[in-house]
A and B are shown apart, each in its own frame.
Chain A
Amino acid sequence: MDKTISMTSRVTAPDSVLVRELGGEAVLLNLDSETYFGLDDVGTRMWAVLTTSPSIAAAHAVLLKEYDVDPGRLASDLLTLVGELVDHGLLILT
């Protein structure tokens, strides 16, 4: 069942996804699709906060304290990243 991504959504990494951090960046391996996906340092930090927060909004609050960024822009970036990761099977909405 498709779910709409919103700031109240909670995301988790499926068991079939492995994350390896190297030098502040990360490479994700989706074992189901046998594909790799790279994240830069900011994406890696977003991933870490998103997968340990109760909602995207909560992750947004944490990241807003860490980065000098417009709140609206950060929200947009987070939703875009989550959408891309969900499309690749690297995150699931719970």
Chain B
Amino acid sequence: MVTPTGYRLAGYGNMITDRPRMEAYARALRQVLRPGGTVLDIGAGTGIFALLACQYGAGHVHAVEPNDAIEVARAMAAANGCAERITFHRTLSTAVTLPAPADVVISDLRGVLPLFQQHIPSIIDARRRLLAPGGVLIPRRDTLWAALIEDPTTYCPFAEPWLANDYGLDLSAGQPLVVNTWHKVNAKVGQLLVLPQPWATLDYATVESPNVVGKLAWTAERAGTAHALLVWFDTELAEGIGFSNAPGGPELIYGQAFFPLQTPVDLVPGDRIEVRLRADLAAGDYTWQWRTRVHAADGASRVKADFHQSTFFGAPLSTANLRKREASYRPALGEDGQVERFMLSLMDGQTTLDDIARRACQQFPGRFTSWGDAVARAGELSVKYGR
């Protein structure tokens, strides 16, 4: 499992002040929680759901968070008189065992979309191991939607800097990469060229795979230039409670995902657009593919656009570095690796960081600018790998 990217405290603050989101989560929790019930809060952050669960009558709460924010959550639990009712687990939920399964599992491990890092594997694992029979998952279900969008302003960085510049330079090598990346946006409903279509539904009570593939098809009803495929989600947190990230609704922290087309496509009424959108969780994060085909309205045989794009094509990588990921590759440690291996080998519960740093300086003379530099490196390793 990949450790999630650390949020800053201000980021957690933004989640708390996102009222449509927070109010829906709070209502859902209050609706499903029985007095004295046990709640598991996965990705607890600063513990807002755990605190609310206590306020709403939970008997006990397990708050799971690998990020340093959990230390703030502890202080907040004490400040709110909940310290005795919350057990904090500073780790990933997949590493947690509970004394008894939880009646409610609440989480928001999404990014812009629910297909984000280890979200779905974490929920599947929690549902199987940590949720009591008949227990409740919040959220229950996310539905992903897609539409084509006309948005030259957002598209600009995907084309202009690479295809034209004021300096007479050929920067075109960047364009094939950047059009294979996606970005968060907050789109307006008037920018949509076609009616939104559901792409996938993630029912967390039954989902078994983190991967999603699905086809979308539209017939253009008005003229316009398609710049991207826009994807967002609606959620049902509990019976009758949820929120939507659709363009035109309240602007939530999630926004929408803007998948640029390889080149903008001018559409006229009657053009048929087919998109095959696929997301695969690989090596800890999602690889996206969007294959777009546009058939001209004036003849079924004329294809106006035929693009195969993927985030795999978007990263500025070297062949040498990609080769280092091959299963058949036989890696050898560079000096950094040798230094870290040496330091880790001395972390035996007996040797101090001071000793480790001094011995590393002797073993690798010239590698560190000072003893302080070496002890800082050893300290980082201690935090990351120590117990």
Contact = CB atoms under 8 A, between A and B. Distances in A.
Nearest to B283: A34
B326 A38 contact: yes
A1 interface: no
B317 A22 contact: yes
B282 interface: yes
A29 B278 contact: no
Contact of A23 (B312, B319, B325, B326): B319
A42 to B, nearest CB: 14
Interface residues of B, number: 20
B280 A35 contact: no
Contacts of A38: 319, 322-323, 326
A22 B289 contact: no
A31 interface: yes
Interface of A is mostly: strand
A20 B282 contact: no
B313 interface: yes
A68 interface: no
Q: How large is the interface on A (under 10, 10 to 19, 20 to 34, 35 or more residues)?
A: 10 to 19
Interface string A2-27: 00000000000001101010110101
A31 B280 contact: yes
B252 to A, nearest CB: 30
Contacts of B325: 36
A16, A22, A31 interface centre (most CB from chain B within 10 Å): A31
Interface of A: 15-16, 18, 20, 22-23, 25, 27, 29, 31, 34-38
Given A18-B312, A38-B323, 8 more contacts: A15-B278, A18-B289, A23-B319, A31-B280, A31-B282, A36-B327, A37-B326, A38-B322
